[in-house]
């Protein structure tokens, strides 16, 4: 019992998976969905047939038994023989189908027509039965004959839901010939019976069509379910890939942060009070280098976070490419000469439409890479106009080198975070593996297009296509951005930061510029100190994240409210999480990211001073 049940269960399980497989194959065929549905319905028909085939033979046998002795026995036996032959033929057909398991819609349709042909033969046999088994003087036998014929038509209704042609192939000859026989009788009652049979046929044809629609709709829904599952599967794969990329990123980032910290510990540990001055200098130089590499890493991570948080809003305008290149040309020329490389720039006199700061970041990254991965030969920066429709003219900026090259298999991977082709030991002097990840994000942000042409040992060419711009006056030089004003003497700055070390560092720095300071750990302390000194600060510099979930923005608002003035204020944040960055950005206060370079802080304070003296 148990084993029979489990055999049944496993059979239905394999049947189920065969049907799912067929659905998947049909979905993958790319044919119109309607054809896929019809093909699946035909398969369902064949699967259903194997269970009812035996029952279909009960009717001819019963008919012969009932008619025995009332009609010609040879005709009866001949008719039964033909039906049995047909049954055997159908049995063979079903076996052949099960062996072949067709999956293409075209094949399935062919099999459906084969079966329709057997229905036509069966219908014709029953139609002939309706004529030759007519017993003129026995109404009972007439009723038995025609009710059975109609009953068999009704019996096929279950199957025709999958494939309607078999309904017509069977019912038209069987009912048609029977009705014709009745119409030829002199009695009006028999003619009436013939009319009733045709009416019944019409009603059943209607039912067949309706059932067919329902079944096809059900199959369509199953296909939609599979579509949804496939979509979900795709989305899960994307999410998993993103997750894996983030994990890789975090693992590499924490490794890269640990390295310099570890080095710092060693340097600091080696500093001893009685150390000769020369050795101390060497250790301090080591510390400076390590801090520099930490700074570079933090900046790169921050750039990526800001790009991912959508905080960078490009400031797109038209400018001469040569003006931009001028700002870094000398720097790279010196670096190239130091490496014994030829540095060649030819950007002609073209204008581009882009964000100059972001474009500079992209080019700097590409050029630094070209210099880093080239040991002999040259590095070139070129630009040329690609002709197109007036609104579609582009400038192709190329950074080419004669360096180690990149095998084509890595052309995509190099743009992911931390991907480096030949640096498994993650030697920091060989780069961070973040440059091209930043370039890729910036290129997408600006809507430019970047392509790579490179092969191992044959150098590399990175090509950036940028919309052509209208020729305009040059970019303001970096020095012109800040008004040159006097010292910051007597500028009164209130520093709000919950870290005592940071407060002390700020205090020292501000005092060297001649500022006076008030140092507070939170908003309340700041308000108390302002009340004590009775002096309104000229500037507030606040850390974004303070104790007890308070923010620098709140502290600034409180101080401004207490003093009754919109005192210039600067937020400083050490956060790199995109949500935090977005929050800080949303305050509309000027924002700087830790570590803040003294030059930038001073630039800001100078601006405030220039502004207040202009007012």
Please report, as ranges, the residues that interact with ligand ADP according to CB under 6 A.
369-370, 372-373, 401, 403-406, 414, 419-423, 431-437, 460
Radius of gyration for the chain, computed over Cα atoms and rounded to the nearest angstrom = 43
Distances (CA, A) of 454 to 366, 462, 509: 13, 8, 48
Question: Which of 306, 321, 312 has its CA nearest to residue 445?
Answer: 312
Burial class (CB in 10 A: 0-12, 13-18, 19+), 541: buried
Using the minimum distance from each CB to ligand ADP, give the nearer residue, 116 or 423: 423
CB of 414 to ligand ADP, least distance (A): 4
What are the backbone angles phi and psi of residue 587, rounded to the nearest 5°?
A: -70, -15
Least distance CB 406 / ligand ADP (angstroms): 5
**How far is Cα 93 from Cα 112, in angstroms, rounded to an integer?**
11
β-bridge mates for residue 343, sequence order? 379
Find the shortest distance in angstroms from Cβ 420 to ligand ADP. Answer: 3
Closest CB to ligand ADP among 215 and 304?
304
Q: Do residues 21 and 69 make contact, with C-beta atoms less than 8 angstroms apart?
A: no
Give CA–CA dist 11/33, Å, rounded.
29
Considering the complex, state which of residue 307 and residue 436 has its C-beta at the smaller distance from ligand ADP.
Answer: 436
Phi, psi for residue 139 in degrees, rounded to 5: -60, -35
Shortest CB 341 distance to ligand ADP, Å: 12
Please report how close the Cβ of residue 310 comes to ligand ADP at its closest, in angstroms.
21
- Residue facing ligand ADP at closest CB distance: 431
Rounded to 10 degrees, the C-alpha dihedral 379/383/386/387 comes to -150
In this complex, which beta carbon is closest to ligand ADP, that of residue 125 or of residue 307? 307
What is the DSSP annotation of 304-325? HHHHHTT------EEEEHHHHH
Write the DSSP assignment of 383-424 as a string of letters.
EEEE--SGGG-EEEEEEEE-SS---GGGTTGGGSTT--TT-T
Choose between 78 and 422: whose C-beta lies nearer to ligand ADP: 422
Give least dist CB 267 to ligand ADP, A: 24
Q: Least separation, in Å, of the C-beta of 374 and ligand ADP? A: 7
State the nearest-atom distance from the C-beta of 403 to ligand ADP, in Å: 5
For ligand ADP, which is the closer residue by CB, 432 or 491?
A: 432
DSSP letters for 478-545: GGGGS------TT-EEEEE-S-HHHHHHHHHHHHHTT-EEEEESSHHHHHHHHHHH----SEEEEESB
**Cβ 367 to ligand ADP shortest distance, Å:** 9
Q: What is the DSSP letter of 428?
A: G
If you ran DSSP here, which 8-state letter would residue 545 be given?
A: B
> Which residue number, 81 or 377, has a Cβ lying nearer to ligand ADP?
377
Q: Residues 492, 495, 500, 506: is their CA dihedral positive or negative?
A: negative
Residue 331 or 387 with smaller CB distance to ligand ADP: 331
Rounded (5°) CA angle 284-288-290: 115
Looking at the Cβ atoms of 43 and 256, the one nearer to ligand ADP is: 256
- For the CB of residue 380, give the shortest distance to ligand ADP in the complex, in Å: 12
356/433 with CB nearer ligand ADP:
433
Q: What is residue 598's three-state secondary structure? A: helix
Nearer to ligand ADP, 150 or 370 (CB): 370
Please give the distance of CA 606 from its chain centroid, rounded to a whole number.
46
Is 39 exposed, middle or buried, given 0-12, 13-18 or 19+ CB atoms closer than 10 A? buried
For ligand ADP, which is the closer residue by CB, 301 or 437?
437
How near is the Cβ of 422 to ligand ADP at its closest, in Å?
6
Q: Using N-to-C axis directions, what is the helix angle for 435-446 and 277-308, rounded to 10°?
A: 30
Least separation in angstroms between residue 503's CB and ligand ADP is 35
- C-beta of residue 367 within 8 angstroms of C-beta of residue 399: yes
């Amino acid at each position: 019992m148990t084993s029979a049940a489990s055999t049944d269960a496993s059979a239905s399980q394999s049947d189920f998976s065969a049907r799912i497989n067929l659905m998947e194959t049909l979905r993958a065929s790319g044919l119109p969905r309607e054809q896929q549905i019809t093909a699946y319905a035909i398969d369902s028909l064949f699967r259903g047939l194997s269970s009812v085939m035996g029952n279909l033979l009960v009717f001819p046998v019963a008919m012969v038994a009932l008619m025995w002795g009332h009609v010609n026995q040879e005709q009866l036996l001949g008719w039964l023989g033909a039906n049995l032959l047909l049954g055997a033929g159908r049995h063979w057909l079903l076996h052949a189908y099960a062996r072949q398991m067709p999956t293409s819609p075209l094949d399935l349709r062919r099999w459906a027509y084969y079966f329709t042909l057997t229905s036509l033969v069966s219908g014709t046999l029953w139609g002939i039965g309706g004529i030759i088994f007519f017993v003129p003087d026995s109404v009972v036998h007439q009723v038995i004959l025609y009710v059975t014929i109609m009953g068999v038509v009704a019996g096929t209704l279950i199957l025709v839901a999958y494939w309607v042609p078999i309904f017509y192939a069977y019912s038209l000859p069987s009912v048609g010939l029977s009705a014709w026989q009745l119409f030829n009788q002199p009695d009006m009652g028999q003619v009436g019976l013939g009319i009733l049979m045709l009416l019944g046929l019409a009603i059943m044809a209607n039912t067949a069509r309706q059932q067919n629609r329902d079944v096809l709709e059900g199959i369509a829904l199953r296909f939609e379910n599979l579509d949804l599952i496939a979509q979900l599967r795709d989305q899960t794969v994307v999410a998993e890939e993103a997750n894996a990329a983030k994990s890789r990123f975090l693992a590499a980032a924490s490794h890269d942060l640990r390295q310099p910290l570890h080095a710092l510990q060693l340097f600091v540990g080696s500093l001893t009070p009685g150390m000769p001055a020369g050795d101390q200098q060497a250790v301090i130089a080591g510390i400076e280098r390590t801090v520099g590499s930490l700074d570079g890493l933090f900046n790169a991570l921050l750039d990526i976070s800001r790009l991912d948080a959508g905080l960078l809003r490009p400031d797109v305008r038209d400018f001469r490419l040569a003006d931009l290149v001028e700002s870094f040309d000398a720097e790279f020329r010196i670096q190239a000469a130091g490496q014994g490389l030829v540095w060649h720039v030819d950007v002609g006199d073209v204008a581009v439409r882009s964000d100059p700061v972001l474009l500079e970041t992209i080019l700097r990254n590409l050029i630094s890479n070209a210099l880093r991965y080239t040991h002999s030969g040259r590095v070139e920066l070129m630009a040329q106009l690609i002709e197109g429709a007036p609104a579609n003219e582009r400038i192709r900026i190329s950074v080419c080198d004669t360096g180690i090259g990149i095998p084509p298999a890595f052309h995509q991977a190099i743009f992911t975070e931390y991907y480096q082709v030949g640096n498994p030991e993650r030697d920091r002097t060989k780069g961070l593996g973040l440059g091209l990840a930043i370039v890729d994000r910036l290129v997408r942000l600006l809507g430019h297009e970047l392509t790579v042409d490179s092969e191992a040992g044959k150098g590399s060419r990175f090509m950036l296509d940028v919309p052509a711009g209208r020729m305009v006056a040059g970019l303001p030089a970096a020095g012109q951005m800040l008004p040159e004003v006097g010292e910051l003497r007597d500028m009164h700055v209130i520093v709000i930061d919950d870290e005592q070390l940071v407060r002390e560092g700020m205090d020292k720095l501000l005092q060297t510029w001649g500022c006076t300071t008030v140092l507070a750990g939170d908003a309340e302390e700041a308000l108390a100190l302002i009340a004590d000194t009775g002096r309104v600060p000229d500037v507030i510099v606040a850390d974004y994240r303070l104790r007890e979930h308070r923010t620098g923005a709140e502290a600034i608002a409180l101080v401004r409210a207490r003093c009754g003035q919109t005192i210039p204020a600067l937020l400083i944040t050490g956060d790199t999480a995109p949500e935090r960055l977005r929050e800080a950005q949303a305050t509309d206060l000027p924002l700087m990211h830790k570590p803040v370079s003294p030059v930038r802080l001073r630039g800001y304070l100078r601006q405030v001073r220039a502004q207040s003296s202009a007012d």
